[in-house]
Amino acid sequence: MTNTLKKLTTILLLLFLAPIIIATVQTPLSMDATTEKTVEKKKEDIPVVYAAQIETPPVTETETETETETESDPVAEILQPPRKAFVYFTHWQEAFKPILAASGEKIEIYHPEKNITNFQEQITAQFAFHNVETDFLTSDNPHGTKDYHSVRPLVQKALSQNNYDIVLDIHRDSAKAKVTTLKFGEESYAKIMLVVGGEHANYKWNEQLANKLSEQMNTIVPGISRGVFLKTGKGVDGVYNQDLNKNTILIELGGIDSTEVELNRTIAILAKAVSNVFDQQNAS
């Protein structure tokens, strides 16, 4: 009887405690599950932003107008008529030592074939790249023109037949590499000197153009132009046929030690500078 009573008491106690135990065990589990669902929901609610979704602020009317003003019209640039340059070589036989040495020739400073006139093709190409056409002096007897006096009537005739925006008489200076070579960055260039004859009435026009050209060259490659030299007095020509056209400049391209690569680089800079001067004239 006593054993039966003990068993009955134990069963009743278990039945009384069971709901409390079950509630205690289930509550943390339910809370964990609820928290997990909440976290997942929050993660799902966070939007993912891609670069394509970032909108550019709308351009205002003022910004559009400013853009239009600063942008150049490519069609207008293409349709702009080319400028014209007349090029000749009074001392056409002037040569460069490194070029003669590379071709196995005797190293001299004058040569009947391998001389400064060999750069006509490079001059034509570089000037054309900047929308400048080039005409070169032609003669039935080119070997007969070796000085300013003999070349004058040929230049005069050519200038009477066409209008040119610039006239260049290109020479090779007699100075050595120390004076005529420029190292800029990783490249070397043949320096340029511009010469103006001061013994004619309108030389100021020539000098003004020469100064502008020198400035433009030094803007592109600092130091490439040795400057503008006004020549007057005994021992110099003093005119250099520049009285025939106010836009005529005598250019000393490099010197006796200039290499072909250096000269080609400098011709490219010269062409760009000439183009820049024309652009300045258009803007003024």
Distance of CA 214 to the CA centre of its chain: 17
pLDDT of residue 33: 43
The arithmetic mean of pLDDT across residues 94-116, rounded, is 96
121-139: b or e for each residue (b if 16 or more CB lie within 10 Å)?
Answer: ebbbebbeebebebbebee
Give the helix ranges, DSSP H, for 136-259.
148-161, 177-180, 203-220
Fill in the amino acid letter for 65: E
pLDDT of residue 139: 77
Pick the closest to residue 236 from 206, 204, 201, 195 (CA basis): 195
Fill in the amino acid letter for 134: T
Asked whether 207 and 250 are in contact (CB, 8 A), the reply is no
pLDDT of residue 15: 64
pLDDT of residue 284: 76
Give me the chain's average pLDDT, please: 83
Question: Which has the minimum average pLDDT: 23-27, 44-48, 228-232?
Answer: 44-48
Higher pLDDT, 88 or 36: 88
Pick the closest to residue 94 from 191, 151, 171, 169 (CA basis): 171
pLDDT at 162 over 70: yes
pLDDT of residue 81: 85
| pLDDT tens digit sequence for 33-67 | 444 444 444 444 444 333 333 333 444 444 444 44
